[in-house]
A and B are shown apart, each in its own frame.
Chain A
């Protein structure tokens, strides 16, 4: 268990607030711009989720796929992402979870990767393509380096699977709030709300909802079911991509981030 994530949720609870966790792909559209954007975003966030660009992100919709491609085109690799995160953690105390597809970790070396993540100041690691059956080698390294291994639960997850997942989950439980890949949806489905409620019955860990969320209204609905945090990725990346080159971008981004906060 990583103290930073735990502490942040405890603090939010005292303040009766829901945690806002924006998601960005490191190095999109290039390392320098990305760092500048991440610093602005961090000022308005309770947590950050940072994606490592990967060539084949199967759980992601078009917006995040394109962000991955932009980052890869300028030569972003895991070492560069770690240095990016290092700079970010020097700047902000907001806990950082990284999202990374398993082949990159495997290629880097699991032990070396988790060690490096710890040194860069990461708090949690999420592997969107590793099911609980295969999590053990990663989970053990997370424990060794004092990082939270974040696991996903979907509306398709059976009760048997949910119990298994909760044996390994720490930090928070990531509730996949759509039946599909990442990307904004106009409305939240009733099953997403039921999912949050169900997870809360099984665990005391905070539940953070992600996938398909793009407004604070949606976040509020999830909060009523017991969610402690919400992730906004595609909608934010889309906004940044559309406004990045316009005048007063920082002000626009700040305004947008404020509109997303509860």
Chain B
């Protein structure tokens, strides 16, 4: 990270610690998570999908049912309250799929903060409904026309904005990425997904699941689900990356399959890069997974072998997207459809006694323009 931001990051770390230990602040967060976000979200047994596949029992953690329609709100609300706690008046955010941008804009409206969201123009085109939502919520959406015009470049621009406004503005980073303390902080705000799941599955079936499956862009919904299960040795975990057009095509965002350790956006992690270290362009049908690096904690879990990382192609994700809609009446985000696709493949190989929990991280309304085109609807 540039020196110019280091003091702001130090201030953020100090304030976050205070915020964590402040009972009033924590009570306000808990209250809003319940009354505003709509937590806890259900853990739903996908009966018809399970029967159709004829293998392990599939449960869906319904983050798509949160206010604004994705897990992103958990973090945006937490950080929004922190920003206010720190006395900041303006929120800067980046967005890929637009779900984090919408969550940041929503929280800014709720808390009376100004909000600027950076979004690559490629993403603005393919996630158009979310652009209108952000604008309606009072946020300024700034199109990013440089580089690959997707999430990576949106983060570059958001950082450049923060470099120019480190005093009054709060950078609300949307995933477990970026410099310390963001990866830790965002993970802590998303941990609630796993905490609830653990209790809910115990209540429903009296034991822990055998598998957890989540899609991984930056990796916030995955780490949110996984974190409280990391010590449970019998729970296997799979992070699903975007395979795009396939690894061989070079058009993908599968960092663990094709990346190397590198530094991007102030964090050392797996990065898709060329042999000289230039960051490569990525491709995925889902904007939220279209990023050349991954949260550093995922790199660590990968090295330790605690979480297994795989990928699903655009085509496979679309098939799963359609199947979930038809069998369960649930239109998931294309990001989450990657997790669904992997889980379906996995379920087929397992006995009916096994339990898989999928993090259904978001809903798919935002994807309708792309899906309508791809599936000729």
- Are A107 and B6 neighbours in the complex by a CB distance under 8 Å? no
Complex contact B279–A161 (CB within 8 A): no
Contact of A129 among B1, B278, B279 (CB under 8 A): B1
Question: Using Cβ atoms and an 8 Å threshold, which residues of chain A touch B276?
Answer: 77-78, 104, 107-108
Number of interface residues of A (CB under 8 A): 38
- Chain A residues near B164: list those with CB within 8 A: 179-181
Inter-subunit contact B3/A72 (CB<8 Å):
no
> How many residues belonging to B are interface residues under a CB distance threshold of 8 Å?
34
The listed residue (B6, B260, B261) touching A131 by CB distance below 8 A is B6
B window 9-52: CB within 8 A of A: 10
A59 to B2, CA, bound (A): 7
A56 and B279 contacting across the interface, CB-CB below 8 Å: yes
Q: Closest residue to B6 on the A side, CB-wise?
A: A131
CA distance A181 to B158 in the complex (A): 12
Whole-angstrom distance from the CB of A68 to the nearest CB of chain B? 10
The answer to whether residues A156 and B147 also contact, given A59-B163, A107-B277 and a CB cut-off of 8 A, is no
Name the residue among A77, A107, A128 with the largest chain B CB count within 10 angstroms.
A107
A149: CB under 8 A from chain B? no
- Point out the residues of chain A lying under 8 angstroms from B369, CB to CB: none
Kindly list chain A residues whose C-beta atoms are within 8 Å of the C-beta of B6: 131-133, 156-157, 161
Instruction: Confirm or deny: B354 has a beta carbon within 8 angstroms of a beta carbon on chain A.
Output: no
Are B263 and A55 neighbours in the complex by a CB distance under 8 Å?
Answer: no
* Residue of B4, B8, B275 most packed against chain A (CB within 10 A): B4
A25 at the interface (CB under 8 A from B): no
Collect the chain B residues with CB atoms within 8 Å of residue A56's CB: 147, 152-153, 156, 264-265, 279
Which of A56, A165, A181 has the largest number of chain B CB atoms within 10 A? A56
When the two chains form the complex, which single residue of B3, B160, B275, B278 contacts A58, counting CB atoms closer than 8 Å?
B160
Kindly supply a per-residue 1/0 record for chain B positions 91-118, scoring 1 wherever the CB is within 8 Å of any chain A CB and 0 otherwise.
0000000000000000000000000000
Which residues of A are at the interface with B, using a C-beta cutoff of 8 A?
54-56, 58-59, 61-62, 65, 69, 72, 77-78, 102-108, 128-129, 131-133, 151-158, 161, 165, 176, 179-181
Residues of B within 8 A of A (CB): 1-8, 10, 146-147, 152-153, 156, 159-160, 163-166, 260-266, 271, 273, 275-279
11 examples of A-B residue contacts, CB within 8 angstroms = A58-B2, A77-B278, A78-B276, A104-B277, A129-B2, A131-B1, A153-B3, A156-B5, A156-B6, A165-B3, A179-B164
